[in-house]
Amino acid sequence: MKNFTHVRFEKIPVSFFLHKKTLTVTIILAIACAAAMLLSTSLGDMRIHPLDVMRTLFGGGTDEHRLVIQKLRLPRIIAAFLVGAALAVAGAILQGIIRNPLASPDIIGITSGASLAAVTFISYLAGTVSIVWLPVAAMAGAAVTSIVIYMLAWRKGVTAIRLVLIGIGINFLLGSITKVILVKNPIQTSSQAYIWLTGTVYGTDWSIVWMIVPWVAVFIPLAFVFARNVNVLQLGDDIAAGAGSAVQRQRFALLMISVALAGAAVSVGGAISFIGLIAPHMTRKLIGPSFGGVLPVSALIGGLIVVLSDTVARTAFLPYDIPVGVFTAGVGAPFFIYLLYRNRNS
């Protein structure tokens, strides 16, 4: 037990052990995330010294700095971090319950369901229904898709491999329907939908940030509650059932947590790809497979990747603002090919 630190609260009956390596990596990543967000806040059309950023955040600074930082940049950066964290945790949950390293919300169809619902909303309802309902449409699409996948995969229970194969099929089907809608739409509507499908946090304000905060604040801690169940599920359905786990009920509950996080992230940031795939893999390389440690580290890595990608997208090609999904796909696609190659040879 020398590699663990015991954490105990006096006023509430909660105690647990933290692996020292996991704690160290978490602290380092938290510092890296704070530094990345500070750097991102200081960069842009108007460059602001990091010390001036700090002064502005603590109530000082000029009126111009306060406008740029508090109204324009900070909401976008916080939204980028929360979207990355939500997608990473959703991917970690899926990889845990499915026991497949290639599982993620954008590969097994959850993101495609949210995207189809959002594109349908933009194409047919945006002129008559307020755009503030777009996130609700995206979340509903993710939820309905996940339930359909689960029902189609059910055969006296749901096995991990059947869930993933059905999900991949649904992913391609929904992607095809989305493309048909885009082709039939006017060019202006299709352009707006294409930008959303690529993934972007452009134009984010505080109202959008507060829209995703409750989902992250509720469902990431809820995932921690089920962390022990995921560790058991990774041993296989038969062993988990023999150990007393309600396999199907726990798998469905965890799937719904993943759907909630992925739907919330997609509703705010669009179809940002590969974060749910690569962040959990990087986490396991750093700290190992224990799910209790994978969750917080994955959240920090996912948030860090999206913040850094959005910073490059926003500043590298001024005056153009490139969708952040372009850069996450540029990093994620080679990583996905590497995973496929490694699994072929394993």
Q: What is the pLDDT of residue 183?
A: 84
- Please report the pLDDT score of residue 2 as a whole number: 64
Confidence of residue 5 (pLDDT cuts 50, 70, 90): low
What pLDDT, on a 0 to 100 scale, did the predictor assign at position 76?
Answer: 93
Q: Residues 172, 156, 97, 249: is their CA dihedral positive or negative?
A: positive
The label of the residue with tokens 């938290």 reads: 30
Per-residue pLDDT of 260-297, as tens digits, reads 898 889 888 888 888 988 899 889 888 887 777 888 99
Contacts of 109 (CB under 8 A, 6+ apart): 145, 146, 149, 167, 168, 169, 170, 171, 174
Q: Would you tell me how many other CB atoms lie within 10 Å of the CB of residue 346?
A: 6
State yes or no: pLDDT of 195 exceeds 80.
no
**Residues 233-244: tens digit of each pLDDT:** 665 655 555 555
Kindly report whether the global pTM for this prediction surpasses the value 0.85.
yes
The residue that leads in pLDDT, 36 or 294, is 36
Beta bridge mates, 16: 7
Percent of the chain, pLDDT > 90?
18
Q: What is the pLDDT of residue 343?
A: 62
Predicted pLDDT at 231: 62
Confidence of residue 184 (pLDDT cuts 50, 70, 90): confident
Query: Hey, which of 16-25, 102-111, 120-129, 269-278 has the most confident mean pLDDT?
Result: 269-278
